[in-house]
Chains A and B, each alone.
Chain A
Amino acid sequence: MSTNGVETTYFRRVSRWKLLLIILTVALVLTIIISLNVGFAQIPFSTILQILAKRIPFLGSLVGSSNIPYSAERIILEIRMPRILAGALVGAALSAAGVVYQGIFKNPMADPYVLGVSAGAAVGASLAIVFGIGFTLFGVNTMPILAFAGSLVAVFIVYNISRVGSRVPVTTLLLSGIAVSIFLSAIVAILQVIAGKKLHAVVFWLMGGFSGVEWKDVWAILPLIFIGTVIIYFFARDLNILSLGEETAQNLGVDVEKVKKVLLIFGSLVTAAAVSISGLIGFIGLMIPHITRIMIGPDHRVLLPTSIIVGASFLVICDAVARVIVSPVELPVGVITALSGGPFFIYLLRKKKESYGV
Chain B
Amino acid sequence: MNAITPNTPSLPAPVGLLAELTHRCPLRCPYCSNPLELDRRSGELDTATWQRVLTEAAGLGVLHVHLSGGEPTARSDIVEITQTCAKLGLYSNLITSGVGGALAKLDALYDAGLDHVQLSVQGVDAANAEKIGGLKNAQPQKFAFAERVTQLGLPLTLNSVIHRGNIHEVEGFIDLAVKLGAKRLEVAHTQYYGWAYVNRAALMPDKAQVDQSIRIVEAARERLKGQLVIDLVVPDYYAKYPKACAGGWGRKLMNVTPAGKVLPCHAAETIKHLEFWYVSDHSLADIWANSPAFTAYRGTDWMKEPCRSCDRREKDWGGCRCQALALAGDAAATDPACSLSPLHSKVRELAKEEAAETPPDYVYRTIGSNVDRVAPPPLKEDAPL
Q: Indicate whether A and B interact.
A: no
- By a beta-carbon cutoff of 8 Å, the part of chain A in contact with chain B is none
Name B residues whose Cβ lies closer than 8 Å to a Cβ of A.
none
